[in-house]
Structure formats: structure tokens, C-alpha cells
Structure 1
């Protein structure tokens, strides 16, 4: 009884391997794997566009049967499963999508000018190389057509169909043949890298932004090379550091404010790729290097007072202008012996001898009136004897 159980288990395991290998079945040619997806019923069969998407999802595309050697490579798989399946899916509805299609003016059997409209998915023309249309009546669709391979030879009146091509509406549901580079499957490129098959059988990884090395295993931003709280951003050429304000350098290694360049108590403030100095009220300049009141710009005894980014001169009486440069009394504006007296923002003249006016220019001089007694006294003072 135990032997029977073991035998049953072995048979079940063997059947599972066969089923797994049967869909898809694979054939290899020139570094490319061709996978034939065959479904017994309608479930699993896809339209042309959906079939191509399914191939892309496994790292490939619908097969390009553009050489007779490729046709021969898949022919053996077609022989293995020819005339299958039959469950309600018969005649021309059978077959495998391949990667050729045409969007408009697809009737190329009777019009050689329409042949240029048939393209492989890589953009090359189907009629530029090997073709295997079933007859000179193919392709005969009008628009939105795609190529497929016949997997049957059991239709009366149509001999030698197995492996030949036909055309069908892209919306028809069929099996499909995918192709993918063997060097690129499973994908050796990590972190979202894209594998490109090389003609010598090797591969080349096109890494996602921020990743490097042959298999894209190096994350250039982990650990982050950016200093001073910079943010590492992956790029196609490597990485870039998005630096905080006031920090520069490839890796944000230079903090422009770390050695405060601002003098006289100024505060360094980082800006986008630069810095500025916030100066105390009494200082100005890029580095707050200029003391507005030392040396004092105020002349003629004026007093300098510091303001925010500026200064003000408080001038003595009679002195005006921003820097107290004009002493209104220096030019002696008061005439006829008048005395100039400075005032707040101006001057007054203290006039003498009967003169008046702003500058003592108007009026008459005072005339002395002497009496005889006055004259006598004056003359006597000078030693004269006066006799009247």
C-alpha cells in the first residue's frame, strides 16, 4: 500500500512538471528564447495587443519571425501541438500571434504598394526580408490586422498550412509566441535596471537614476554622500546633492556660514548657493565691514547717530546739509558790522549802527549830534582852549 502511495505521488509530481513545462514551451535560437503559450480553451487566449503586453511583462515581446532559421526553430513546437486545441476552437480561429501588424491599408496580397504598411514590432518592414504567408492571397484584411502562425494542417482543401502565416483582426483571441533575450532573463539588472541583449551573447544594464555598476546593485544615495543635511537625488549620470541654503559643493561640503564671514557682530544667513550678512544698525557692506560713524562723516562739530543701515548727522546751530558741511555764518553774510548768530537750520544777523534786514543791508547809519558843551569838552580833552 505504501508503494502505491509513493508511486501515485511520483506520477503526480511528474505530471506537474510536464504541465508546467508545456505552457509555455520554449525553444532557443541565437541567444533568444521563443516561448509558445498554448491554451486548450478560450481562457488564456489574448488579443494581439494584450498578447504583446503579456510578452513585455516577462521581459520580451511578440516573436519576430523575420528569418527562415527562426521559422524552423519554432516549427518543431508547432508540430508537437498541431491541430490543438479543438474544444470549440476550430479552423482559422486557431494559431499563435507573432509580432507583425498593420494599422491601415493592410490588403497587401493584391496591392504591393500596401506591403510597406506591414511592420514588425521593431519598426522594420515585414516585406524587407523573410516572409511565410500561406498564399498569395494573404494578407487580405483591410485595417487593424496582425500576423499569426497556423498551428494546424487538418483543414480540407488547405494543405501545408502548419507554420504558414495568416492575418486576422487584432481583436481576435489567440495563442501567442513571445521572444526574449536569454542573457536578460531572469533580469540580471537590479533596482529597476533595464537589460539590453548584446550581439556577442552578453548583456548591458541600463540602470535607473541613482544606481550604478554592472548589475545596478550600487545605490549611489545609500549611504548619502551629501553633507550638511543635503538631499541626494539620483540622476541618469549618477547623483546630485540638493544642498540646504548657504551650502555649496558637489557633496554640499562647503558651509558658507561655518566660519562666519560677517564682521562687527553681523549674522550670516544662508541663501540659495550663497549667503548674506545681516548687519547691526551701525554697519553696512557685504561683510558689515563699514562703521557708518567711524570715522564720523559729520563736519563742523556735527554728531553722528547710527540708524538701521544708515546714519544721521545732528549739526550745531547755523550748520546744515546731510554731513553738516555748510556753516551758514562762515561766509559772514551779515554786512555793515552785523554779527552772524547760528540758529536751528539757519542764522540771524545782529545788526549795528542803524542797519537792519536779514543781512543788515537796509536802514541808514546813525548821525552824531554835538552840542557846544559837548564840543568844548571834547576839545578840552584834546588840550585845546576853547573861547567862544
Structure 2
């Protein structure tokens, strides 16, 4: 999504000619109940609106109007809602299948965009004044700038030898969709448990998108449960705030690691989204950080005739550094604080949750980052 957003924004805002290379053709079958979802912050929603993309996404989106954060087995909890902050919403949940269809339609009909799919990059040649890419199909492309938006295992990074640092959290995420027996009222939840954080995001048709973080040992046990056992254990860990969990869809899991590309820019190459950094999902910041990468790159590219020259790319790098470092540090810190059973740490984090609502100077930065307004 980061790459498609960037391509359309560069066309519409900066009036640039763009070639998009996409490795995977669209699936003809919608996943239905099991459609995966992503949470967009209010800041991301506003940027998509600025790029003329939100109207086509919003029809299948579910707004987040309030957020509740709690720690299982302890008294403290906190949260906030859109009305308190004077906002229309805190964010929105979009199903990836619906978003994929919309983005492909927009890419294919944009006169400034050439869409190569399915295809992938097999070679890169960096010249002083331009850059060339060779595709698996044999097609050769050239331009002033190449943007890598090809995920944590970026082929572009591999070809130009741009390594990444890796912080392994020793956790896995289990993802699934849950059906409720009562309305979710557009509320999102983050609950910290002994097994790991549980996040539930509101979706269409009274479903919740679940992300449950856990150790590898717990994962092995979890994947052996039948669906009734899974729902019972999830209910035990989460509680009854949402009533009874009626149904769970297909489970999927993936390891949780922080990937940070050593360099955000290279000669006539920039990295955005998960190709630049991949975060732990604990605070839902990953895609939203990538959208801010996109917004910054669009802004600096629009100001330069040669959008691949060093001054343009250095401006992108310098403007992204503070937000990138702060967001990576915040998410990694939350993982370590809320995945720690050491008694003094448990006491400290519960005190922090308890006083959050009473200390405005703490609330501001946390809420602003949650809203994507940094």
C-alpha cells in the first residue's frame, strides 16, 4: 500500500511520470470473513484524503472512535476518544483486500503511471544522472529516482547491498478475525496479558481484527487448539468487554522483529515503508510511519526538477530521521515494558497507566503519535 500511495501521490501532487513494478497479480477471490485489516491513524486518513484516495477507501472502512488500554490482572487502564480530542475519529480500519482492489484500479487508469504486473526487478544500474532497472520480463526502465517500497525483504536493498539491523523480540503474532455477539461501537482495544499484548480493531459486519503477540512456546500450544479452545482462551485473556466471542476465522502467524534499513537513501534510490523499517505491531504504528515516509518524499520531490539528486534525497532523509527514530524507540520500548513479568516493572507500568489521564504533558505526545500527527 505504501508504494501504491506514493505512486498516485507523485502523479497527482507532483505531476511526475511513474513506473510501478508489482510482483503479485491480484487474487480473483475475496477472502470474505478472513480478510486481513490494517489500522490507519487520523493523520494517515487525512493524507489519503489530500491525495484523493480516501473517498474510494472509506466506503468499506470502519472508524475508530475510541481506544481502551488495559493490563490483565491489574487495576489500571486508560484510553481516549475522538470527542474528547475534538476529532471526527481517531483512525480507521481498512480491509487489505478492498484496499488492494481500489489501488490497482487507480494505478491502472492513471495516465501518468505505467503498471508492470506481475513483474519484478532483477538488476539495477546507477548512473550519475539517472538510474536503470532491469525486470524479470526483460523490460528495461530508466528514470531520475527509484523508490524501494518492496517490504522488509527488499530486493532493491539486496541488489545495492543496503543492509538492515534486526532486533528479534522473540515473539510471534497470531492474527485472525473474530465475530462478536454484541456491537463493537467502533472501539479499539489493546490489552496486555501474561502471554503478550492482545489488540482488537473494529471491522465491518461486527467483526474485530485480532493481533495476539506471544512467545514461540505459547504459539506452538496455541496452534494446536481447535477453534472452540482458541476462543475460550482468548475470552479468558481479554475478558467480556465485547461480550461473547462467537466465531474465529482462519489463524495465521508471523515472527515479530524490528527491521531498520541502515540507509534511507542511496545514489538515486530512496526507501519507504516496510522497506525502510518494519515495526512490532504493538501500537499500530508501522503502516502509518510508512505513510509519513511517503508524505515527506512527495513534498521534497515536488520541489526538485531532478528528484533523484543528492540534495533532494538528503532532505527526505533528514526530515524523516527524528520521527523514524522516535517511533521505532517507542514501539520497541512498549514491547519490553509490557512483555516483562518482573514485579517492579509490572508495578511501574500500572502506575503509568493510572496516572496517564491525570498528566497532560504525558498525554500530548502519546496521543499525537497515535493519531499520526507528529
Q: Say whether the fold is shared (TM-score over 0.5).
A: no
TM range (shorter): under 0.3
**Which is higher, the Rg of structure 1 or of structure 2?**
1
**TM-score scaled by length of structure 2:** 0.18
Q: Which has the higher contact order (CA 8 A, sep 6+)?
A: 2
TM-score, structure 1 as length reference:
0.18
Higher helix content, 1 or 2: 2
